Structure 1
Amino acid sequence: MRRSLIAHSFVALTLMLAGCDDRPQSPERPDAPVGIDQVHWNDDAVGQLREAIQHRAAHGLDRMSFAVDGQPGSPEGDRALTQSALRYASALARGAGDPAKLHEIYTVPRPKPDLVSGLARALADGKLGEWLESLAPQDEGYRRLSKAYLALRGEGETPAAAIPDKGKPLEPGANDARIPAIARQLVASDYLDRAAAQGNLYNPAMVAAVKRMQADYGIKPDGVIGSDALEILNLSDADRARAMAVAMERLRWLDRAPPQTRIDVNIAASRLAYWRDGKMADSRKVVVGEPENETPQLGSPIYRLVANPTWTVPRSIQSKEIAGKGSAYLQRNNMAWKDGWIVQQPGPKNSLGLVKFDMKNEHQIYLHDTPAKQLFQEVQRQRSHGCVRVDDALGFAEMLARDEGVLDAWHRARATGKETFVPLPREIPVRLLYQTVVFGEDGEPVIRSDPYGWDDRVAAALGFASRQGHRLQTSGGDVGP
């Protein structure tokens, strides 16, 4: 598999928003920020605003209307122009939609620029266009998404799909000109190794990859590429453009200068990236929530490591999946009733594995180990009840403990065989994000699956139509969190 495909799915955003710190001051009160009624316009500035909005397709915002209202020269006209400019500026600086309204839970830190003061300064300097452009993310990943969107977006009817459906299913062993396109998407989705994608022959390696994909999406896993399988594999240029616009919007939601040391988890791609002092230190697979138990998009730090954790089974799992299984099941899984709760004791069968990464949030979401190691071999790893299971979690805990200077304490805690807490000297920020476009080994954007169907609500906020298609099936796997 393309092991580094997801490793670069999060790009370090290092530039602060213009106007955040150096704010113009009110002449009446030198220590006060500028108010909306103190922003003044002229014809040149209005022209710059209109030109900037005219080129909004570079940000995937061309399906939204940003009307420029008002004429300069009067308080009413200046106020209307300021409101028009701030609406577009906010879309660039923080996103056109509010993720906290688009999603039931969204607590990832967002940019907080002082747009009014920034606008006033840009107008005073005669550089409104430059200031507006500076508000969007400035990293190479965003630029590549923008370039791809501009190349893909259509003016009229939806372009034809890249892999045409000829009506007759593709059988194993077939020789067909569509095979290279099918293989490329299987590789991009991590179902197929790049080396196995050769020529026009529907070879055994591709058949096995298609079967795995079919099983993930609830289609009979026979390896025959019919209309259902093509629907999953196939994206028109319009579909791809929509994905690029959604990806840009999600990047605009994020702080431009995130913590240099942090952990980013891409829920959609089931991949973790550990950043240390601004550099990628580690990337590994994770298992996240299944479609009926989605992992929420959180900003929540790790504050301690827990060696040999116990697991208090949540009421929801207790009632839905353990109730009625009897004392033999509890004993077999090292579980017992304690103060009205089912508690699983430390050990190799514990659903949290041998380490838990305790996080601060009210949703009981955290990173942890797991005894279900086989799930890391799946391509679609949305298989948990909402928490994040980390591949080789003990190795990852060792890495964090070493980096944070608590390795000896961690080793002592592990050796006890009992639940033991190891506080970190500083909290490590964690961002649980959802991004269906990642960057491949060549740096180009690659479209992954949308396991929760969350792209639709973001796309709708940007003015795109909904895209119906097959969704990842709930696995009904183990009872772990």
Structure 2
Amino acid sequence: MRHITFAFIIIYSSFSLANQEKSGNELIQWLSDLSRHGIDISSDHWLASVESQSDNRTQEIVQLYSNYLDRGRLDKRYFQPGWTIPNQPELPGTPSALPPIEDIQPSIPEYQYLVDALNDLQSWRGLAYQIFPNNLVLSEGDKHPAVSSLNAWLLALDLAEGLPDNTYSQQHKDVLSSIQQEYNLIPDGRLGPMTRQVLLLITNQRIRMLKANLERIRWLPKKLPYPRVWVDIAGFMTSYKSSPQRTFYFKTIVGSPKKQTPVLKSNIENITVNPIWKVPHSIASTSLLQQQQKHSGFLAREGFRVYQSWDPKSPEIPIDSVDWNNLSEQSFSFRLEQQPGELNRLGQFKLGFRNNYSVYLHDTDKPELFNGSNLSLSFGCARVDNIETLIETIALDQGLMPVLNNYRQSETPQKIHLNKKIPIYIVYFTAWPDKTGRVRFRDDIYQLDNELISWF
């Protein structure tokens, strides 16, 4: 009987060890898959996953990293204080052991594009020394299989596209000369070890950018509604997504670095035709006052009315009754309102939504500004190119076209309340896929990446 008991213990122990080993391997694979999403695993947790002696310890690790994937690893209050969009975590308090990663990750398609771009660049980081060894130098006219690889690498870095295959061309030289000049190398346009090292440096920078922007996506709700309006600040683009298959894009002017467009979530409630611009005090008491002092009669010519104070019941006063030249930013107490017309800064249309920043989407009296290279020009609102098409599309979807057509014949302000509010997200991403799914890297116009990227 004692021999049977001893044999049972040996068999049970072997079975238990085998199960522990299997459980440990599954956890290692699960954590490895998380690394593909830009979530780095600590050395302590790697060690714990190898040992995998305690079910409780395994459960702690799974819950911790599941939460990271569900709602983000970093506290947005510290790493991007202006981010106010709630992310509404969906993961239950204690997830099941090794829940499928695809059930936890954000469901918006842009997330997967960034994940794919991250893994692509991580592959290039590992392959660069093999494909471009130290003894390889490419000059104009050289034919080499590495040229096609270089083209693919530059495309993944969003530095060039459409370069000739197999032959190193003048176009290659131009691209690499620009990169060499930026990083203080001799701009000879040749691909050699030093230029390869610079491309690796850029690759590492891009990898950190992708990890930072994947973290930002995790700060969003896991699922986003349709329809929705999406204002992409760093991409200078507004989109109206009425369904996964139907999206309209509009070039957009956003706030300058000194008057930044805020990150927020709200609901568009109304369309204003022929809006009145109620000038924020910060603008009226500075730039508009300076224009009036520099060019007498400026406010009258531009169609502004002046009110005694910011009290809604304060009376209108004649513009010429104010001694503008003796006013300063500190002593300025008037309210300025620009009336509808061709000179109105808001143009013909405005989309209104509640927020604490007095910003909205609107038209412009200077459409030529959309053709410029600098689109961070506004005082915080988003100026939308061809906004009339956006307004018409929303009105058509909500059965409001007859009302819109009637109101835009008017010269006075008219407000149309939407039958169904449309969620609007104003966001800031420095890496984001374009219409084709190719990830593009943007300038950090508001310098919001520094602290976030430094963590990665």
The TM-score with structure 1 as length reference comes to 0.67
| Kept in 2: contact 1:90–1:115 (CA 8 A) | no
Partner of 2:284: 318
Secondary structure in 2 aligned to 1:283? strand
Q: How many angstroms does 1:49 deviate by?
A: 4.0
Runs (4+) of structure 1 exceeding 6 A deviation are: 68-74, 154-157, 175-178, 192-196, 223-226
- C-alpha distance in 2, partners of 1:457/1:115? 30
Which of 92, 101, 104 is the matching residue for 2:78? 101
CA RMSD across the alignment = 4.3
- C-alpha distance in 1, partners of 2:244/2:125? 43
Q: Which amino acid aligns with 1:105?
A: G
Matched, 1:286 2:252: yes
Partner of 2:303: 334
- C-alpha distance in 2, partners of 1:352/1:372? 10
Secondary structure in 2 aligned to 1:130? coil
Partner of 2:271: 305
For 1:367-386, list aligned pairs within 5 A.
Answer: 367-386=361-380
Partner of 2:36: 58
Matched, 1:354 2:348: yes
Q: Which amino acid aligns with 2:118?
A: Y
| Kept in 2: contact 1:273–1:280 (CA 8 A) | no
Q: How many angstroms does 1:442 deviate by?
A: 5.0
Partner of 2:98: 129
Partner of 2:441: 447
- C-alpha distance in 2, partners of 1:362/1:176? 59
Structure 1 residue ranges without an equivalent (≥5): 1-41, 123-127, 161-174, 208-222, 465-481
| Kept in 2: contact 1:94–1:252 (CA 8 A) | yes
Distance 1:155 1:319, change over 3 A: same
1:180-209, Cα deviation, whole Å (9 max, x unpaired): 97xx78x958xx99799x984479xx99xx
- C-alpha distance in 2, partners of 1:272/1:176? 43
- C-alpha distance in 1, partners of 2:255/2:90? 33
Secondary structure in 2 aligned to 1:264? strand
Distance 1:373 1:66, change over 3 A: farther
| Kept in 1: contact 2:251–2:384 (CA 8 A) | yes
Q: How many angstroms does 1:320 deviate by?
A: 2.3
Partner of 1:149: 118
Matched, 1:227 2:181: yes
For 1:399-414, list aligned pairs within 5 A.
Answer: 399-414=393-408
Q: How many angstroms does 1:249 deviate by?
A: 1.6
Q: How many angstroms does 1:133 deviate by?
A: 4.8
- C-alpha distance in 2, partners of 1:323/1:403? 42
| Kept in 2: contact 1:367–1:388 (CA 8 A) | yes
1:94-144, Cα deviation, whole Å (9 max, x unpaired): 111233432232232413224314x1xx2xxxxx22334521135654334
357-366 vs 433-442, greater mean Cα deviation: 433-442
Secondary structure in 2 aligned to 1:273? strand
Matched, 1:258 2:258: no
- C-alpha distance in 1, partners of 2:302/2:161? 37
- C-alpha distance in 2, partners of 1:131/1:385? 45
- C-alpha distance in 1, partners of 2:63/2:111? 22
- C-alpha distance in 1, partners of 2:279/2:79? 30
| Kept in 2: contact 1:302–1:428 (CA 8 A) | yes
- C-alpha distance in 2, partners of 1:419/1:440? 36
| Kept in 2: contact 1:57–1:150 (CA 8 A) | no
Matched, 1:457 2:451: yes
The count of residues paired between Structure 1 and Structure 2 equals 379
Partner of 1:88: 65
- C-alpha distance in 2, partners of 1:315/1:229? 44
- C-alpha distance in 1, partners of 2:45/2:163? 51
1:212-268, Cα deviation, whole Å (9 max, x unpaired): xxxxxxxxxxx998834989x976211121122123222222223211111111111
- C-alpha distance in 1, partners of 2:221/2:432? 18
Q: Which amino acid aligns with 1:142?
A: Y
| Kept in 2: contact 1:154–1:237 (CA 8 A) | no
Secondary structure in 1 aligned to 2:99? helix
Secondary structure in 2 aligned to 1:288? strand
- C-alpha distance in 1, partners of 2:342/2:162? 36
- C-alpha distance in 1, partners of 2:25/2:41? 21
1:20-57, Cα deviation, whole Å (9 max, x unpaired): xxxxxxxxxxxxxxxxxxxxxx9566664454234432
- C-alpha distance in 2, partners of 1:113/1:132? 13
- C-alpha distance in 2, partners of 1:255/1:332? 47
- C-alpha distance in 1, partners of 2:426/2:44? 31
432-441 vs 281-290, greater mean Cα deviation: 432-441
Q: Highest CA radius of gyration, 1 or 2?
A: 2
The TM-score with structure 2 as length reference comes to 0.70
Matched, 1:363 2:382: no
Secondary structure in 1 aligned to 2:98? helix
Identity over aligned pairs, percent: 25
| Kept in 2: contact 1:66–1:88 (CA 8 A) | no
Q: Which amino acid aligns with 2:421?
A: E
Secondary structure in 1 aligned to 2:270? strand
Secondary structure in 1 aligned to 2:100? helix
Partner of 2:191: none
Q: How many angstroms does 1:337 deviate by?
A: 1.1
- C-alpha distance in 2, partners of 1:373/1:438? 26
Q: How many angstroms does 1:445 deviate by?
A: 1.9
Structure 2 residue ranges without an equivalent (≥5): 1-18, 130-139, 186-197, 310-333
| Kept in 1: contact 2:106–2:223 (CA 8 A) | no
